[in-house]
Structure 1
Amino acid sequence: MRNLRPADLAREHGISTQAVRNYEESGFLPTAERTPTGYRIYTEAHAAALRAYLALIAAFGHATAGAIMLALHGDDLDKALTLIDRGHTQLLHDRETLAAVRRAVGHLTAAPDGAPELPTGTRTIGELAHRLQVTPATLRAWEDAGILTPARDPATGYRRYGPTDLRDAELAHLLRRGGYLLGTIAEIVRQVRSAGSTAALATALDRWQRKLTAQGVDMLDAAAELSRYHAISAR
């Protein structure tokens, strides 16, 4: 393999040479050999590793990308693949949740009385937190923002989340994952509650759909780069 300088790797991605060195020191790139004077000697394997790592960041985020590369360099391919599988599982979950919200919006606009089809039953704060895989503190923050308005049990004073709260919580969870601020989510939820215009909700869902599609494409690109790097490093 031909030798490369840190600047050669950095120039391809528009990053600094220090960033390349930092990635190596963190274990995201394989350890480079040194010249007698201490300069790093990079190869095509390092260039492929850097392409894979940066592609993984776009697809899975910094933490997961780093963990995948560390697993590979620790000769634990199964761990790396498991981390990738988890990312795909989360993306599938988001797609299914988005589809469910779209169905709810369809019910909202199609029902003669303007009321969407709602879940049944009530939940405690702990039960709802477990359902959404968030903390009770998160639900209380959503309540403070006006997203949730749970009733209180007359006997105990504990929160009880009814069908409307369950729907609003599911919607808030989806939009929060899409990066929307609590104030924006509260406004969308208010529109759904009032069974008025769903234009803002439709716009938010379309944006989230585009984000999921882009993430799916990023995952394809990351898989291709990672496969190339794995093939090179296995030689």
Structure 2
Amino acid sequence: MERPLRTVDVARATGYSVQQVRDLERLGVLPPADREPNGYRAYGARHVRAARAYRGLAAAVGPVVARRAMIEVRGATLVDAAAAVGELHAQLATERARTLQALDALATIRAEPADPSSGAVLTITELADALGVRTSALRHWEAEHLLTPERVGSLGARVYDAAAVATARVVAALRSAGYGIPALRAVVGALDGLDGTVDAEAALRERLERIAGRSVALLRAGADLAAVVVEQPSPGDAGRDR
């Protein structure tokens, strides 16, 4: 039989603190530890593997999703566990695909001729149709200070000049990649007509790098996750984890 591990042993093996190991057990990320006659926790290799699997998952999909996945995987069959992990990979693949689509959109925008002196302006309906979004989305972007249309006529109708249209296209491209409002503000703040797409492209390529790093973290967690599933105690052993 393997030598029981103390809480400090698990902490040293996984890079967590002693308190973090206890917290992970309390949250259900780690299987319940056995108890020695003196009341001290007694861990094993499966606890170390579960902690390492969680660390990899947390780096890939965030701590909240990682906790939920660990609890789900620990109580699942091999088929269901594999499906759950496959879904996490699929989510990252979707993020990557959307980011690549946004990069393609930016490339198209940059290739278009920009001539602010042409005097071409679009109404809010025309711009919404051109971007494939609702007019309410344009109003929301305006409220968030991402767009600044001109107001014309006695009713103050919104119109968008060439520079505003270019900015709207960048915002739409980044939104399609899943960027939130704070990140959009940072990009739009650096925009200067179509030249601002350079900043948007840099942000998207940085996002691709992060997605790649998260994908690698998820791959590395795979071996530990597989071990967690395979070594789950059978129903007859359930009474031992008290």
So what's the TM-score if we normalise by structure 1? 0.74
The question of 1:171 aligning with 2:174 is answered yes
Per the alignment, residue 216 of structure 1 pairs with: 215
After TM superposition, list the pairs within 5 Å mapping 1:29-68 onto structure 2. 29-68=30-69
Shift of 1:62: 0.8
Change (3 A) 1:197 1:74: closer
The question of 1:181 aligning with 2:192 is answered no
Shift of 1:211: 0.8
Per the alignment, residue 107 of structure 1 pairs with: 108
Asked which structure has the greater RCO (Cα within 8 Å, sep 6+), the reply is 2
Shift of 1:59: 1.1
Residues 188, 196 of structure 2: 8 Å contact kept:
no
The question of 1:123 aligning with 2:134 is answered yes
Change (3 A) 1:163 1:88: farther
Change (3 A) 1:157 1:72: farther
Partner SS for 1:176: coil
Whole-angstrom CA distance in 2 between matches of 1:80 and 1:114: 55
| 1:127-183 deviations in Å (ceiling 9; x for gaps) | x59xxxxxxxxx73x43342145799x9x9999999864652341453735x96343
Residues 119, 167 of structure 1: 8 Å contact kept:
no
Shift of 1:83: 4.3
Residues 59, 218 of structure 1: 8 Å contact kept:
yes
Which residue type is aligned with residue 58 of structure 1? A
Identity of counterpart residues, as a percentage?
31
Residues 124, 160 of structure 1: 8 Å contact kept:
no
Change (3 A) 1:79 1:187: farther
Residues 121, 163 of structure 1: 8 Å contact kept:
no
RMSD (Å) for aligned C-alpha atoms: 3.7
Gaps of 5+ in 1: 130-138
- Length, aligned pairs only: 215
Whole-angstrom CA distance in 1 between matches of 2:157 and 2:84: 38
Shift of 1:2: 2.5
Change (3 A) 1:24 1:103: same
Change (3 A) 1:3 1:123: same
Deviates more, 1:198-207 or 1:2-11: 198-207
So what's the TM-score if we normalise by structure 2? 0.72
| 1:27-51 deviations in Å (ceiling 9; x for gaps) | 1111111111100110111111111
Whole-angstrom CA distance in 2 between matches of 1:69 and 1:48: 11
Change (3 A) 1:113 1:173: closer
Deviates more, 1:166-175 or 1:50-59: 166-175
Which residue type is aligned with residue 223 of structure 1? G
Which residue type is aligned with residue 222 of structure 2? A
Change (3 A) 1:167 1:108: closer
